[in-house]
Amino acid sequence: MSYLAQQQQGQDKEELKPKLDADPAGVCLSGGDWLPNGNASGWGEFISLTPERSEKYYQYNLQLSDTVGAFRKVPKTRHASCDTHNYSLPPFLEARVSVVISFHNEARSMLLRTIVSLLSRTPADYLHEIVLVDDASQDKTLLEELRAWLGTLGRPRFIFLTNKQRQGLISSRNMGAALASGDYILFLDSHCEVNDGWLEPLLERVSHRPNLAVSPVLDPIDPVTLRYQKGNEMLRGGFDWSLHFHWHKRELTNQELPETPYSSPVFAGGVLLMSREWFLKLGSFNANLKIWGGESIELAIKLWLCGGQIEIVPCSRIGHIFRRHHAFDFPLQYPEHPMEQELSPAQATYLHNSKIIAESWLDEYKSMFYALKPAARRIPLNHTSHQLQQLRRESRCHRFHWYLRHVSPELSSMLYEFAATGTLRNEDRCLHHAGVKNSRQQLILVSCYHDDITQWSLFRSTGQLSTQREFCLSVEVPLEVTLKPCLRTNDTASMSQRWHRMGTSLVHNQTHLCLDNPLKGRLELTACRWHAVSQSFQFALEMER
Ligand code: LR7
Ligand code: MN
């Protein structure tokens, strides 16, 4: 029974059901008759709404958020068999869950809906506490107002923390985890709605395997219509060599059903539940990571390497508003550093965090990362990694090649697929795809430290030289070097897209001519000349042949 239902024990069960009103979003039903004053819109007197602000401030529909109610029904998105499964749960005294939510400038109605969904859809015995960390939001009275209301509920325990100065979500979550006292810890964004029965499937998995960490399947909530949609349970999390998160398709084995829990190289985004002790033993989120980004990839790598596993559990569903843009500023990381002129503060922060992951865990494979993100070389790191080295030693963590072999075949296949990859340099400039102009793809040579400098890959098997597998360097009659969509290799026209290496030259297979940059800026095909500087093109990373 949920906490709120328990509060009203003794009342007629029928009465506990939320009143069903048509919902402005047109898809869900709102309720919330347990809220103060029985106010169905759910706000009542206990908390005032956020003052009007532009949509841009939140990057979602604030007006709708304020009107759909603190509680609303959400569609059932998990497989029907999840409802009939009898979950074998650990005794609740051994499985108390602490939920940690850090927020920066979240709309009141949104944060409240997140909390209310937890209170109403979590078995009360297992919901030990909710830790709310206000990461220096502009709204200075929200936490006090929440304390005044939530503090009166008695159970679960609430812990309120306010950062006077912005710490970022990574430190804030660490602080929350350090104060928490449950057996398990769950990190949640501040604009989520947990779906019915979200916790039981997760607890069932972790209670049998103490080193397992689990994620639910994320259901997307549309930032404009607030429509709660069904997320995809056929995807596992992963990342590429530039340390960007990606989803990979999951294939079902004979015994597997779509709703069967499955292992994953990384978490489903940033939402995860694991033993609090195990989280602390792993050193929490790497405290050198700043503000936003990378922390869940870092935790995933160290967890696998140091004896843990990760699973995604499709019977557990949590809705999350996926915003299209950041809703907050990134503090300048390197004021006065020349790099700051080339990278935005958000890019510099993300690159800084990625560099820490590469330096901490990738071992000799970190050269793959630097090949794809040359700008990371210039990011200063001013901290020591003693603690991490100690963790690696004491927990006898595997080296990164173990992760490649046993956890992420996708990442290792990227290694063998390419003969060379990364930026493509000619003298002091790099070949860059600058978009389309007058319906032609623009190929130019620019500074190699440009943050989104094009990454090229020369495929071993096909000889195609492509940007993200999308566009291939091609030669058109009469000998014009262009970018064209990559053709399938069974298409004879794809012959015009094949290249091979001769020393540092790039030779076009069909014509036996070399890629050349004779006029500093315009690519041509000319007769190959041994050691010609204008024909020398170096990839950031050349694989062994
Ligand atoms: O300085 C900040 N301080 C904060 O407390 C910046 C942000 N935050 C809060 C913010 O209010 C929000 O609650 O941190 C949370 C995440 O920030 P978002 O929602 O603006 O970004 P996001 O949705 O892209 O976050 C994803 O990436 C983050 C990288 O650090 C974290 O891993 C988030 O957990 C991750 N979110 C998800 O993957 C969605 C699923 C979480 C759930 C449910
Ligand atoms: Mn989010």
- Exposed / middle / buried, residue 221 (Cβ in 10 Å: 0-12, 13-18, 19+): buried
Nearest CA to ligand 1 atom 16: 189
Q: What is the pLDDT of residue 341?
A: 67
Q: Residue 272 belongs to what H/E stretch?
A: strand 272-275
Q: Would you state the CATH architecture of domain 415-542?
A: Trefoil (2.80)
Q: What angle do CA 386, 390, 396 make, to 5 degrees?
A: 150
Nearest CA to ligand 1 atom 28: 293
Q: Cα(87)–Cα(85) distance, rounded to whole angstroms?
A: 6
Residues of the chain with confidence (pLDDT) below 50: 1-42, 44
Q: Cα(395)–Cα(402) distance, rounded to whole angstroms?
A: 15
Please check whether the two domains, 3-321 and 415-542, share a CATH topology: no
Identify how many contiguous H helices and E strands the chain contains and give both numbers.
17, 25
Reported in sequence order, the residue ranges of 379-521 that DSSP labels E, i.e. its strands, are 418-426, 429-437, 440-447, 456-459, 465-467, 471-476, 480-485, 499-502, 505-508, 514-516
* DSSP label at residue 454: P
Q: What is the pLDDT of residue 384?
A: 79
User: Does any ligand 1 atom lie closer than 6 A to the CB of residue 188?
Assistant: yes
Q: Cα(523)–Cα(439) distance, rounded to whole angstroms?
A: 18
Q: What is the pLDDT of residue 46?
A: 56
User: Does any ligand 1 atom lie closer than 6 A to the CB of residue 328?
Assistant: yes
DSSP of 136-164: S-S-SSHHHHHHHHHGGG-SSEEEEEE-S
Cα of 189 to ligand 2 centre, how many Å?
Answer: 5
Nearest CA to ligand 1 atom 35: 270
Cβ distance 41 to 67 under 8 Å?
yes
Q: How long a stretch of residues is the chain?
A: 545
Cα of 276 to ligand 1 centre, how many Å?
Answer: 20
Q: What is the pLDDT of residue 34?
A: 43
Nearest CA to ligand 1 atom 15: 189
User: Does any ligand 1 atom lie closer than 6 A to the CB of residue 219?
Assistant: no
User: Does any ligand 1 atom lie closer than 6 A to the CB of residue 403?
Assistant: no
**Of 166, 169, 190, best ligand 1 pocket probe by most atoms within 8 Å of the beta carbon:** 169
Cα of 320 to ligand 2 centre, how many Å?
Answer: 7
pLDDT in tens, 226-258: 999 999 999 999 999 999 999 999 999 999 999
- Relative to the CA of 106, which ligand 1 atom is closest? 11
User: Does any ligand 1 atom lie closer than 6 A to the CB of residue 194?
Assistant: no
CATH code for the part of the protein at 3-321? 3.90.550.10
Distance linking the first and last C-alpha atoms of the chain: 62
| Domain spans of the chain, in order of start | 3-321, 415-542
Which residue matches tokens 């005294």? Answer: 93
Reported in sequence order, the residue ranges of 20-103 that DSSP labels E, i.e. its strands, are 21-22, 29-30, 97-103
- Relative to the CA of 135, which ligand 1 atom is closest? 5
Please state, for a pLDDT cut of 70, what percent of the chain lies above it.
89
User: Does any ligand 1 atom lie closer than 6 A to the CB of residue 318?
Assistant: yes
Which residue matches tokens 């979602």? Answer: 60
**Which ligand neighbours the alpha carbon of 101 most closely?**
1
Q: What is the pLDDT of residue 29?
A: 29
**Which ligand neighbours the alpha carbon of 285 most closely?**
1
Cα of 227 to ligand 2 centre, how many Å?
Answer: 16
Q: What is the pLDDT of residue 339?
A: 66
ipTM of this complex prediction, to 2 decimal places: 0.98
User: Does any ligand 1 atom lie closer than 6 A to the CB of residue 102?
Assistant: yes
Q: What is the pLDDT of residue 338?
A: 66
pLDDT in tens, 142-178: 888 888 888 878 889 999 999 999 999 999 999 999 9
**Which ligand neighbours the alpha carbon of 59 most closely?**
1
Q: What is the pLDDT of residue 153?
A: 80
User: Does any ligand 1 atom lie closer than 6 A to the CB of residue 168?
Assistant: yes
